Amino acid sequence: MKRILTVDDSSSVRQMVVVTLRKAGYEVAEAVDGKDGLAKASGSKFDLIVTDLNMPNMDGIEMMTAIRKLPAYSFTPMLMLTTESQTEKKDAGRKAGATGWIVKPFNADQLLATIQKLVK
């Protein structure tokens, strides 16, 4: 079973992501912000990370940059799920290691299709 970490400071968004992914057969862990996400990624191996951009304590780009420095996460796909759609934000996300970008509000089918492409 593929393991996915979802990182978002909005509990309602996390809940929607968790329900969508668990229904599709994924094992899902949750983190409330970038610091929590980094701690969970450091302590366990995930096949994919889905993260928001704007969060307190540590944003998604800072978290992805830190996670990419962990040897176990050099090639792990990371998907940005955010309200941000500006080109400069997407460029910063790519530089930090994002392998995909979905703008909220998200469609469950779109999220699953993207994840299935990233996690084989």
Tens digit of pLDDT at every position of the chain (120 positions): 999 999 999 999 999 999 999 999 999 999 999 999 999 999 999 999 999 999 999 999 999 999 999 999 999 999 999 999 999 999 999 999 999 999 999 999 999 999 999 997
Q: Is the pTM of this model over 0.85?
A: yes
Q: In this structure, which amino acid lies at residue 17?
A: V
Strand intervals (E) in 1-120: 3-7, 27-31, 48-51, 78-82, 100-103
Token pair listed for 87: 């080109």
Residues 6+ apart with CB under 8 A from 71: none
Give the domains, in start order, of the chain with CATH numbers. 3-118 (3.40.50.2300)
